[in-house]
Every structure is written in structure tokens, then in C-alpha cells.
Structure 1
Amino acid sequence: METPAQNRPLPRVASDLVQDPSLTLGPIVMHPWFSPILKSGEYITLLSTDQIGYVLISGTAKSIGINTRSAFKSDTPSAIIRWDASSDSITLILTTLLQPHRFLQSQSHSHLRPQPSESESVRTDTNPNSNPKFSSTAISLLKLLPEALAVSQTYKIPKFFLKFTSLLLQLHASPLILYTAYALARDTPNCKRYSSETLTEAHLGCIPKPLRRILQTHCPRYLIALDELHLKWVEAYEELQYCFTKNLKVNIKLEGYGSICKKRFGRGCPAYISTNHSFTRLRQIAGEAALTVIKSNAYRFMCAEIEEAIHEATRCETCAHRLINAFDAVMRHVMSDLRTTIAL
């Protein structure tokens, strides 16, 4: 036998939010963020499938796209509109549109969902080479987005997704989070835009498990496309490192110090001295310095920032120019045909 609505355990969202017994009206529990404090005028109660009610002034409801025309009967100032949607989805939609500050406050997401478990939390210390600015609030909200998107489309609330992505930006969401949000909306142009921002070392190959699960469950082709793009860039970075330090694979000779650098100041240039006359060691030092800049910015071609890093690493103008010319040729060979966005 089905448990009466008033005796059913509330879903996590509602049970976390309902603190005041006075907010209960029969089998309906009024959401405290949208509770009946109106003194006059028309208003609606938006009701979820799990019996959570949201009170909105009629004009406010209309302003966000809720159809109230058929809800009011005769001269009654109030009406109930039932949505085939959970309180999770309605809370996310209404709060994003009308009270986004609640999600921007410190720890505000704990009122919407329990904190992610340690296994699901995004840890930036597991990879010493990465430090992406993931927001636990953004990821918590993103987990609720698939159903909320479907609800907003069913009930024609077009402003929701635009406001949601704006909220993610205010939460300093990473490009991977934004990519996932646009993938759920099947917005390929914006997915391409943000996929290009995930090619730095901080994000490359670092898709958090919660995001990977969301993509795999709801839009797997976008996950496959991003994984393929990341793999090509990882391979390109590895080839760059090999070419910079071992084998250039281009028609340029880069073997040993030049005679001028060996004799400069009677002792040799600063690079010659600091590497104990080892040009192989100098290539390794300069190559690592160049790669650090390249990976941090996803550069495909030589630029002033890379040149500056090589100059600082070698401390010799002549040696730096030789290495810059060689590394420039290598980058053109390895990176010029590399895609910078997903292939969809």
C-alpha cells in the first residue's frame, strides 16, 4: 500500500530545508525560500511531485515564463499549478532565476544537497602538476542540471539555462564544469569554445569523477570527443619534450656549444659554465622551461613568453637564439596541425 504523502520521508532537498513545522499545510510542505508571506495580490503555489510547494507572486511567475493563464478561476486570488517535476529541479530552477545569491553565499549548497563524499570531492592535490579551480558548489548544482534542464524545456522556461551558466561563471567554475553544462544542453558551439580552454596542464586528463559520470550518463559522445582531444594534446606534449631534449626531428643542427660561447670571457658563456660544458644539459634545462610555459597556456607556436623563458634558463643570448630557432621549428612540426577544439 502506498504511504500517505504526509507520512512519506521527504526528499533530501526538502528535508534539509524544512525547519519550521508552521510551514506545513496538510500534505504539502512549503519551501521556506518561497513561502506564503504575501499580503495581497494574485499568487500561485507551484507544486512538485513530492508535494513541495513554492509560492510566487503571479507577476513574478509570468516574468520567468510560467504559464498562469489557465490556473486562476473566477475571482480567486490564488491558484495551484502542478508540475511533473521533483523539488530538486524546481528548487534549482526557481532559485537560479529569482534568488541566485543563495548559491553564491559560502556553503550555501549544503542547503540544497549534502556535501559530496570524500571519494567524489574534487581534490587538487592528487596531481602535483595540476591545480584547477573547481567549485564544489558548482559541481553540486551540476548534478541536478540534467533533470532541471528537461523540466525547463517541458514548461518553456528558456531563461533558466542562460542564468544557470551565468551563475557558474560567478562561482568561478572551471572550463571543464562549463563544458559539462553546455554538453548537457547539447550546445556544441560553446562546448567547442570551452574544450579549447581545457588543454592546459591544469585540466588536461584531469576530468573529475563526478563530471565524468555526468557526461557518461547523459551525453557520452561529448565525453568521448573531449577524451580524444585531450589524448592528442598529451601525446603532442610528450613528443615536444622528446624533441626538445633528445631528437629535434627537424633539419636543424643543434649539437654542442658554438666556438664563441666556449671562449667568451676566457672561460665560456654563462650557460657553458653553469652546465659544466654540457650542451645536452642546456637543452634539457631550456626544454623544460619552454614546456612549462607551453603547457600552462596550450601554446602551439613560439611566442615572446616562451622566448623569455628560454633566455632566463640559458642566460646566454647566443645560446638562447639557437635554441629558440630550433624549438620554433619543432613546435611547427608537432603542433601546427593539432586540433584546438572537440571534433563534433
Structure 2
Amino acid sequence: MLIEKYRKTIEACRFCPMCKVVCTVGNITKNEANYPRGKALILFTILKKMREFDEDIVERIYQCAICGLCKDWCISDYDIPELIMAARADIVNSGKIPSRVLKIYENIRKTENPYAMVNDEKISAVLDKEIRETGKRAKILYFIGDTAFSHPEIFEATIKIFNYTGIDFTILPKKNRGVELLYQLGFRKEAKRLAKENAEVINEADAEVLVTSDADEYLAFKREYPRLGASLNPDIKIMHITEYINLLLQKNKLSFSRKINKSVTYHDPSSLGRYLGIHEPPREVIKAIPGIEFKGMKWNRSRARSCGASGGLLFTNPEIAAKAAENIIDEATEIGAEIVVTASPLCRQSVGDCKKLRNSSIEVYDIAELIVKAF
């Protein structure tokens, strides 16, 4: 079993409650089995062959945001998120996949996205306009990710930014989305297949820089592709859109002509902030927009709360994810922010949906949407 690799983590964490205070799911459900210690105890019984993966255990393993707060809080650096992903892979290999998790897998296989949506005519027209013929090199290769399906306004805003700055770019014509989501849900073979297909197309494009708006796919490029043996050309620089825009600002290739006279806070996506350490570029971009009063969250950077979008939780347990997003709206309200900005389409969706349910006056944007308002 894959969890055998994490025996030390299991044996240590089953006795320790220290990260309980920051557990996203545990502090929402108040179920001891949902805290890292509870999950370690459960997996200890699996290792010792005292139990097998049954319906209840599988439910607990998928009730996790894999947000990484527990690891960041841990003084001994035990990696519960890696353990949970290994356990999920063991569940998939055992064939005991919950129906709602299997549905996500089937959606990605059939439609290349977890929403089971296909491009409408408007989206297709935008994409077709920017995709170049094979063999015609562009400096920037833009990888959209699931944004085209969840929030097309994000990729449209990103294209406006490229066009506004005169950037030579194209959009990846073939895009296998969902590599990170598949990996986190335990479907490693499918994640490997998609990652290798993507790597081949990206390498053939021969671009200088690969840019993506999708924080989860960015994490996949940085972490999962090497794990899965999907080799990207080392000469291609991989950047999140916030890093690239910040670079444009530093080189005076991007400027703003309109003021946004509002107080703005930033929500750090787990995949971008906690896992990859990209905290300052988004903040620097936001602060560069005239008129903005920036207000920092109390829980920020590597200690930022999860909005419930990560680890597949938004799809497998949307009711828990909604509660996690409420924490973000509440914190933003507490500090007096009028706008919450994030740099992940899934976070944008999670926090934005919560804002609607709460009838909150707070506005929620992806960072690309905010930027084009200042042009």
C-alpha cells in the first residue's frame, strides 16, 4: 500500500493533537475522525490490518481540503496532505471509489473538466482567435486550465491584459485539464497520462514562458509533472499569471490609468501560497493599482485559511467547502474590506458562491478581473 511510505507520519500524528486548531474540515464538522490525528488513527488500523477501507473510512479520507495548514503548523513537519493523497490512491487502487468521486473522474475523461461542461460558441470564438497554427512560435504560451468552464471572465480578462501590453502570446491548442485534481483525488494513472500528453504539446510549442491563471494547474506543473515523469523542456519558464504581471510592472511594461477607490484584501490560495511560497507578487500587483487601500487578512500567507476549494473538497463535499468559504467572507468583513481578490479560479468560485448565499456586499474577483478594471 502507498500509505506504507508514510508509516512514520501515521505513527507520530495518531498521538498528537497540536494541529487540531487549524484543521479546515475538522473545525467545521467537529468530528474527531476528520482531524489529522483522527485520520492518522484510522490509517494506523489499516496499516495493522485491523480494518479495511470501508464506506465510513473512505468518507473521512475524502473529507479533507489537503490545504496543508496542518503541515505548516507542525513543528516536526509531518506531511498529512501527502499521506491523505496516498490513502486516496490506495482507495482508487482497491476499487472502493465513492460514486461522487468517480463522477468527477468520468467528467474529466469525457469533457476535460470536472464540471462536465463544453465550450459554448462565445468561448470557442475567443479561443479560436488566439490559438496559432502549429509551428508558429509565440513568446508566451497561455494555459487556461478549468477557468474556461468555471469562470470564462477570468481567461477573457487575462487575454485583455496580454493584448493591452502587446504581448506575443498564444493559447495551448490541446489542454488536458484537471491533472492536479485527479492526482489529489487518487487517480494517479490518469493524471500521469494527461500530464505526459500536455508535456509533449507544451514542448512542441517551443515558447519561452508558460503562463497559467490556474493555481492548481500551476502546482501540477511545478510538483506533479516531475513526480509523474512528465518532462517539460527546462528552457521553458513556468509562471503563474500573478508572477508574470508583477514582472511586467517591474519592467514598466504595464501601467494603470484608472483608480479603484476601494479597500481590498487578498486571499492566498493554498496551492499558490502555502505549497509554492508565492505570497508577494499578488500583493504587489494589487498595491500597484491607484486608489486601492490594501488590508491584509489576519490569517495570511503560509497561515492563510482554506476557502474549501482545494483537495477536491469543493466537488466532493460542497457543503463543507461552503462553510470554509464563510470564514474568508467573515474575516474580510471583520477587517473592513470591500473587495476580496484571489488568484485561483476555484477559490474565486468558492468564495464567490458564498458571497451570493450570504447576500454579502463584498465583491469577489480573480486578480486578472481586478487588473482590467484599472485600465
TM class by shorter chain equals under 0.3
TM norm structure 2: 0.26
Structure whose alpha-carbon radius of gyration is higher: 1
- Larger RCO (CA under 8 A, 6+ residues apart): 2
